[in-house]
Amino acid sequence: MLESSSLNEAIISLLDSDSENRTPAGDKIYDQPLVGFVDAADPLFEKMKDDAIIGSVFRLPGEWLPGAVTIISYFLPFTMAIKKANYKINEPSEDWMHARFLGEKVNDKIRNLIVRMLTESGGRAIAPVCEPDFAYDHDRGLSNWSERHVAFAAGLGTFGLSRGLITEKGMAGRFGSVITDLNFPPSIRSSEVYYKDCPFLIDKSCGACIDRCPAGAISEEGMDKAACKGQIEKLDQFSGAIRDKYSYPYSACGKCQVDVPCENSIPD
């Protein structure tokens, strides 16, 4: 029987050995992962269909994979080199762009690795974001599967004012998940409250991401998706050369995820 620890070890091994877990300059993109598990029948998934959370566009685990039993969710934190490169204000850092796009290729490899391990163990498994019917509405910033919300359900973290997920390894990185009909014990969720670890949302004692955002997209009310999208489009004027050279489809920002108290850990 496949142990949960084997999945963790396989992800670490891929991150250590895969040459694509490097920027063109040779910097490592991801540090060691966090892995969590959540029961496919967890009532939290039904709640995600609520407009106040994701909305009816969200598809339940069993709607992706009939007979779904467990979701494996993971967080791939960016290395300090990648994060520091993005400390500068405004312009996208070249390394952050590589981490966004090359890093997502590595993330897909990890999704495929987990699917393969589960199927070789006799189960069925899919990674929703790799499925042909995965849909992301760029205008509304909504998708029918949300890696961050699934990571919350799997106990990997809670949301911050900037709407990123604050994990014990911080916020800057990428998330992934796989649905399977194999059974793994669920992780313990530290909180049923979506915003437990962001000091601003507890007593207004942080708010660093408000100042970090060059577009003014983050306020005491949260993050304005339209303003964030507008800023990313605006950044295209700075990133044309790198996008042309590497065929990256758009720019990346992420200033709100670095040089802030939740960058590397849960803030005190």
Query: Rule CB under 6 A: is residue 82 a binding residue for ligand SF4?
Result: no
Query: Rule CB under 6 A: is residue 231 a binding residue for ligand SF4?
Result: yes
Q: Out of 92, 103, 170, 267, which residue is the one contacting ligand SF4 (CB under 6 A)?
A: 267
The answer to whether residues 139 and 24 touch, using CB atoms and an 8 Å cutoff, is no
Helix (H) or strand (E) holding 98: helix 94-120
Report d(CA 30, CA 21) in Å as an integer. Answer: 7
Written as six digits, the tokens of 45 are 């998934």
State the minimum distance, in angstroms, from the CB of residue 39 to ligand SF4: 28
Q: Out of 173, 218, 243, 264, which residue is the one contacting ligand SF4 (CB under 6 A)?
A: 218
- Distance (Å) of CA 53 to CA 44, 89, 125, 150, 157: 10, 30, 26, 12, 16
State the minimum distance, in angstroms, from the CB of residue 170 to ligand SF4: 9
Query: Rule CB under 6 A: is residue 77 a binding residue for ligand SF4?
Result: no
User: What b/e readout covers 37-46, taking b as 16+ CB neighbours within 10 angstroms?
Assistant: bbbbebebbe
Pairing of strands 70-77, 34-39: antiparallel
Q: Which is nearer to ligand SF4, 122 or 216 (CB)?
A: 216
Q: Which is nearer to ligand SF4, 48 or 260 (CB)?
A: 260
In this chain, which stretch among 24-32, 85-93, 139-147, 192-200 interacts with ligand SF4, using CB under 6 A? 192-200
Interface residues with ligand SF4 (CB under 6 A) are 160-162, 198-200, 206-209, 212-213, 215, 217-218, 223, 228, 231, 253-256, 260-262, 267
